[in-house]
Amino acid sequence: MTWNTSNNSKASELENKPNPDSVAKAQSIPSLSGDVLLVEDNKVNQHLFTFNIEKTGAKVDLAENGQEGLQKALSNHYDLILMDIEMPLMDGKEVMSSLVQLGINTPVYALTANNMPSDIAEYSVIGFRGTLSKPVELTILYQILGQHLTNCNDKVHNTAQRDKILVQDPKIRAMFYTDLAKQHSEITEYIQELNYSELIKVIHVINGLAGNFGYDELTDLAAESLRFLRNKQYQQAIQHCSSLNQKVAEVLNEYND
């Protein structure tokens, strides 16, 4: 069974109506676990790949363009990356070269309609592990997933989220809270002074590390504050910085209790 990415109506038909072919093939869908990064700008393909990969039990993280794909590949650890070639901002070949230089060893497959032997040879030279020609054959997709993800009968499950470090060491946690108290006073002071450049510096540190101490909410608030500060949308920035600082105070109060 294949899906044709150039025809939206046909693609959604394939997904929504379980035809006899797909029912018959249902038996052959492997049961897998693992994390797949899908780098694809085309909405129909995003949907179809995600739908079919998630049927195996594997998780899909989506990047909508090459730049986002590169950023996600640097931030998380994936078992497999499937990447379109023709994309805005940064194409798949450029992303692949960057991943190679920065030592990302995750297998990456090119998703492309350019399936001339010369194209496939070029992708291989750049560092792609293989090529999945569009329209993609599900049997080949499942074969590749099976090769790189964990079979569910095995006990080891690997997830990108699981790999995130959560600091338990009381000495390091104490350092974090000491710094956080200092950062709280600084944020209060810089909000009063409307010192945006110093706010960026302080909030940047919280944005980077709060997640490793179990405070994802602080990370999210810090990221939003930074976004407004950098876009020079100061009114919203100050509102977000204040919410962040309020949350910081709550975290510190909980710790001191």
Partner 1 sequence: MSITINILLVDDVEYSRELLRGALLTCVHDHKKDLEANFFHSSTGEDITDTIKYNDIDLVYLDIELPHTSGLKVLKEIRETYPNLMVVMVSGESSIGNVTTSIRDGANGFIVKPFNSGRILETVENYLKRLSKQKS
Q: What is the DSSP string of 197-230?
A: HHHHHHHHHHHHHGGGGT-HHHHHHHHHHHHHHH
Q: Does 219 bind partner 1 (CB under 8 A)?
A: yes
Q: Does 179 bind partner 1 (CB under 8 A)?
A: yes
Which pairing describes strands 32-33 and 150-151: parallel, antiparallel, or unpaired?
antiparallel
> Is the Cβ of residue 144 or residue 203 nearer to partner 1 in the bound state?
203
- Interface residue with partner 1 among 14, 36, 70, 111 (CB under 8 A) is 70
- Interface residue with partner 1 among 120, 167, 181, 249 (CB under 8 A) is 167
Q: How far apart are CA 237 and CA 235, in angstroms?
A: 5
- Interface with partner 1 (CB under 8 A), residue total 37
Q: Does 210 bind partner 1 (CB under 8 A)?
A: yes
Options 19-27, 37-45, 136-144, 205-213: segment touching partner 1 (CB under 8 A)? 205-213
Q: Does 165 bind partner 1 (CB under 8 A)?
A: yes
Query: Any residues with CB less than 8 A from the CB of 142 and at least 6 apart, and which?
Result: 28, 29, 30, 56
Residue with tokens 């899908």: 38
CB of 15 to partner 1, least distance (A): 32
Q: How far apart are CA 117 and CA 121, in angstroms?
A: 6
Residue 105 exposed, middle or buried by CB count within 10 Å (0-12, 13-18, 19+): exposed
Interaction with partner 1 in 103-132: which residues (CB under 8 A)?
103-105
Taking only Cα atoms into account, the Rg of the chain, rounded to an integer number of angstroms, comes to: 23
- Interface residue with partner 1 among 39, 53, 211, 228 (CB under 8 A) is 211
Q: Which residues bind partner 1 (CB under 8 A)?
A: 67, 70-71, 74-77, 90, 98, 101-105, 158, 160, 163-165, 167, 169, 171-172, 175-176, 179, 201, 204-205, 207-212, 219, 226
